[in-house]
Structure 1
Amino acid sequence: MHSIISPIICKINNVFIHVSNLEESAKWYSDLLGLPFHKSNVKSPVYNIPLPSETGLTLDDHTFDPDFKLQPSEHVLFNFFVRDIDEAYEFVKSKGIIIVKEIERIGDFAYFNFKDLDGNVLMICNN
C-alpha cells in the first residue's frame, strides 16, 4: 500500500462560529470559558477568542458580507473538554444557558449539548 503525501497538516487550526452580535457573543464566550473580556479588543468582523491552546476559536459577524444569512447549526459544531462533567453542567446551567441534551454517560465518557446566544449547538465532554 502506498502512502499518500498531503500538503495538509493533520491539525484543526481554527474553528469559526457565525454570530449575529460580535460584542455580545465575545462577552458570552469569554464568560463561559473564564477568560478576561475587554470590549476594546472586539473589532468587527471577527474576534479571536484568546484560547491557551493550539486550536483557535473565531467569532465572525460577517459585517462586510451583506448577503450573509445566519443559520445556526442544530448539530454539534465542536466540543469543549472538561475534567468534571457534572461541575461543568451545573456551571452552564447556573448561567441560564439552554441545555438541549442532558448528560449522557457511556462508560467513562460523558457529554451534554447546549446552545450559544445565536442557537448554535455545542457540546461539553470529558474525553
Structure 2
Amino acid sequence: MNFVTSPLTKKVNNVFIHVRDLRQSAEWYSQLLGLPFCEEKVVSPVYNLPISSETGITLDDHTFDPGFQLQPSKHVLFNFYTNNIDDAYQSMQDKGIPIVRPIERFDDFAYFNIQDLDGNIIMICNG
C-alpha cells in the first residue's frame, strides 16, 4: 500500500458523539463549551455544535437507525483544549459534571477526564 499520496486531506473534519437524547445533549455540550443554546435548531437525527474550529462536533441520536444500540465509550474519545487546567477543573466541579479521572500532571502537560450525559469519556487537557 502506497502511503505517499492520498486523496484524503490531512485533518480530522468532524467528531461524531452518539447520544440518547439530542436536545438534552445539545444543551449540555453547549453549556460545557460556553455556546449559546437555541433549542429550535435541534432537529433529529443530528445537531452540529456551532464551534469555531476546523474540526466540527456532531451529536447523533440515530433516529433513522432503529437497530442502533448506544454503547458509550469508556475510553477517551477526544479532548477539549484549555489554557488553564485548574480553572477548567474547577468549572467542571462547579457545573456538577462527573470527573472520572482527576488532574494528572507531567511537566508542563496536564489533563483530566469527564463523563458526558451518555457515559462517554472526554479528556480536558492543556497541551
**TM-score bin, normalised by smaller chain:** over 0.9
Instruction: Give unmatched runs, 5+ long, in structure 2.
Output: none
**Residue in 1 aligned with 2:37?**
37
Q: Confirm whether residue 117 of structure 1 aligns to residue 120 of structure 2.
A: no
Cα distance in 1 for partners of 2:83, 2:59 equals 25
With structure 1 as the length reference, what TM-score do the two structures score? 0.97
With structure 2 as the length reference, what TM-score do the two structures score? 0.97
CA-to-aligned-CA distance 1:59-116 (integer Å, 9 cap, x gap): 0000000000000000000000000000000001111111010000000000000100
Cα distance in 1 for partners of 2:77, 2:62 equals 18
Cα distance in 2 for partners of 1:59, 1:3 equals 31
Shift of 1:126: 0.2
**Residue in 2 aligned with 1:126?**
126
Moved over 4 A (4+): none
Where in structure 2 are the equivalents of 1:62-101 lying within 5 Å?
62-101=62-101
The change in CA–CA distance for 1:110 and 1:64 in structure 2 (over 3 A counts) is same
How many residues are treated as equivalent by the alignment?
126
Equivalent position SS for 1:62? coil
**Residue in 1 aligned with 2:47?**
47
Equivalent position SS for 1:77? strand
Superposed CA RMSD: 1.0
Equivalent position SS for 1:29? helix
Shift of 1:3: 6.7
Shift of 1:42: 0.2
Equivalent position SS for 2:69? coil
Equivalent position SS for 2:76? coil
Give the letter aligned to residue 7 of structure 1: P
The change in CA–CA distance for 1:16 and 1:3 in structure 2 (over 3 A counts) is closer
Cα distance in 1 for partners of 2:115, 2:27 equals 15
Percent sequence identity is 63
Equivalent position SS for 2:12? coil
**Residue in 2 aligned with 1:60?**
60
**Residue in 2 aligned with 1:104?**
104
Cα distance in 1 for partners of 2:9, 2:52 equals 20
